[in-house]
Structure 1
Amino acid sequence: MLVDLQHSYRRIGSADVVTLDGEIDFFIEEELREAVGRWVVPNGKVIVNLESVSYMDSSGIKLLLHCHREAIKCGCRLGLITPSDPARIVNKVLRTARLLEVFTVFPTVSEAVNAMEGNA
């Protein structure tokens, strides 16, 4: 099976930035769910960058809600970076599922890091 999603991780200040690139669908859901355990840690600060996600189905919604629940349980701050183009499928899915009302959304990684570090 060809998996069409890459993810990378980097630390900026005290925040962990996870960048997803490609498609989030049923075929990648389990792998990402396992990775959530590495990203969402007690009192952590996690920024999930969705700018390069080209497709997301209901599996992506489930994954983001799972991240949100796990973050609440362990006191982790969680933020999203969404594509700047509101017509992108990721933004449409997030709006339709009303996830933009659930998550703290930032326009850029630097703004997310500043907000989580208390500099905004």
Structure 2
Amino acid sequence: MTTRERIPMPDVHSYDGPPLAEVRDVLDLIGEAWSSGASWVAVPADRLPAAFFTLSTGVAGEIAQKFVNYRIGLSIVGDISRHLETSSALRAWVEECNSGHHIWFVPDTTELPSRLTPR
């Protein structure tokens, strides 16, 4: 794992390391966010394994569940349109996530402050 950089927003850590290849990598990231007091982690979409975007593999559910269990929000940052073009299930899941409070898919980190501000 590499050092995570702090985004200039309170309580959000940005992951800029190698791809999250194993559950252990995800747990390490959650542990670091937890210990630093962060309530959200922003992960570039290209740092997630390709299997994450194929819902039938269970990878997305496993990663998402870890973040929910530890009460750390997950923001997946970047363009995922190529994955959405081929999967109606993924499109539906992204819409569901974006209407919730634990996992968001955003095009870039500029959207995060407005999502984190209570309405």
**TM-score relative to the length of structure 2:** 0.59
8 Å Cα contact 1:82/1:107 also seen in 2: yes
Q: How far apart, in 2, do the equivalents of 1:48 and 1:8 lie?
A: 13
Point out where structure 2 has 5 or more consecutive residues left out of the alignment.
Answer: 53-57, 98-102
1:87 corresponds in structure 2 to 82
Tell me the percent identity: 7
SS in 2 for 1:13: coil
1:62 corresponds in structure 2 to 62
1:59-80 superposed Cα distances (whole Å, 9 cap, x missing partner): 3431221112211xxxx5x141
SS in 2 for 1:37: helix
Q: CA RMSD in A?
A: 3.8
**If each structure's helix is expressed as a fraction of its own residues, which one has the higher value?**
2
Point out where structure 1 has 5 or more consecutive residues left out of the alignment.
Answer: 1-5
Q: How far apart, in 1, do the equivalents of 2:110 and 2:3 lie?
A: 17
CA-CA distance at 1:32 after TM superposition: 2.3
CA-CA distance at 1:9 after TM superposition: 1.4
8 Å Cα contact 1:61/1:97 also seen in 2: no
Q: How far apart, in 2, do the equivalents of 1:40 and 1:108 lie?
A: 23
Which structure is richer in relative contact order (CA contacts within 8 A, separation 6 or more)?
1
Distance 1:41 1:113, change over 3 A: farther
Report the count of equivalent residues.
105
Q: How far apart, in 1, do the equivalents of 2:67 and 2:3 lie?
A: 16
CA-CA distance at 1:112 after TM superposition: 0.9
2:100 corresponds in structure 1 to none
2:9 corresponds in structure 1 to 13
Distance 1:61 1:99, change over 3 A: farther
- Residue among 47, 62, 73 paired with 2:41: 47
Question: What one-letter code is carried by the residue in structure 1 that aligns with 2:9?
Answer: G
8 Å Cα contact 1:20/1:48 also seen in 2: no
**TM-score relative to the length of structure 1:** 0.58
